[in-house]
């Protein structure tokens, strides 16, 4: 194993099991996408495979392939929904690289020319704003 063990009590596992709420924008057999509660820009989405893995390092390549195709779908949707100039896709592996939640996830963040990203894991966004942004993205899917 190239990283630590998978802990099924992590917060994204709880979201996947429906034990805590999320603003979902997309779901299929293998993957869920929901709004990041501390967005680095409006429209910041997390794409999460249902299969348990801690991060990229211990993932099944077949799961990765399914997940990245959803990342592409969501990236196109957030670009359109927020009339963005570009889309930032990123993913952290282990604490030294900035990972704070230990279930594999990809960040998908719309970017506008000249607008800086807010800090990673910064301020909690209002639920109403997250809900409205989720609706905008769903309308493009
Ligand atoms: P990281 O593990 O560093 O890639 O970051 C985890 C991300 O999850 C951060 O951007 C947090 O804002 C986000 N986050 C933490 N808790 C939740 C939650 N309950 N629902 C949605 N996003 C979350």
Q: Supply the CATH number for residue 62's domain.
A: 3.30.428.10
Tokens 């949707």 locate to 77
3 falls within a domain: no
Confirm whether 105 is a catalytic residue.
Answer: yes
Residue among 23, 44, 105, 107 flagged as catalytic = 105
47 falls within a domain: yes
pLDDT, position 1: 46
Pocket test for ligand 1, best of 9, 46, 120, 130 (most atoms within 8 A of CB): 46
106 falls within a domain: yes
6 falls within a domain: no
Using the 8-state DSSP alphabet, how is residue 41 labeled? S
Residues 72, 11: Cα–Cα separation, whole Å: 24
68 falls within a domain: yes
**pTM of the predicted model over 0.75:** yes
Number of domains in the chain: 1
5 falls within a domain: no
pLDDT, position 121: 85
1 falls within a domain: no
* Ligand 1 atom nearest to 120, measured from its CA: 10
Helix (H, G, I), strand (E, B) or coil at 82: coil
Residue 97 lies in domain:
11-140
122 falls within a domain: yes
Per-residue pLDDT of the chain (141 residues), as tens digits, is: 456 789 999 999 999 999 999 999 999 999 999 999 999 999 999 999 999 999 999 999 999 999 999 999 999 999 999 999 999 999 999 999 999 999 999 999 999 999 999 998 889 999 999 999 999 999 999
Pocket lining for ligand 1, CB < 6 angstroms: 11, 22, 36-38, 46, 92, 98-101, 120-121
């Amino acid at each position: 194993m190239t990283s630590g063990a998978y802990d099924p009590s992590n917060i994204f596992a709880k979201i996947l099991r429906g034990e805590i709420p999320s603003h979902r924008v997309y779901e299929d057999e293998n993957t869920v996408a929901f709004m990041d509660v501390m967005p680095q820009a409006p429209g910041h989405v997390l794409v999460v495979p249902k299969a348990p893995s801690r991060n990229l390092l211990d993932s099944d390549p077949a799961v990765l392939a399914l997940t990245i195709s959803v990342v592409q779908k969501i990236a196109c949707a957030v670009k359109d929904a927020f009339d963005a100039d570009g889309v930032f896709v990123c993913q952290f592996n282990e604490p030294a690289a900035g990972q704070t939640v230990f279930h594999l996830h990809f960040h998908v963040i719309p970017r506008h020319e000249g607008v800086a990203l807010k800090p990673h894991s910064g301020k909690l966004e209002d639920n109403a704003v997250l809900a409205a942004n989720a609706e905008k993205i769903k309308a493009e899917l």
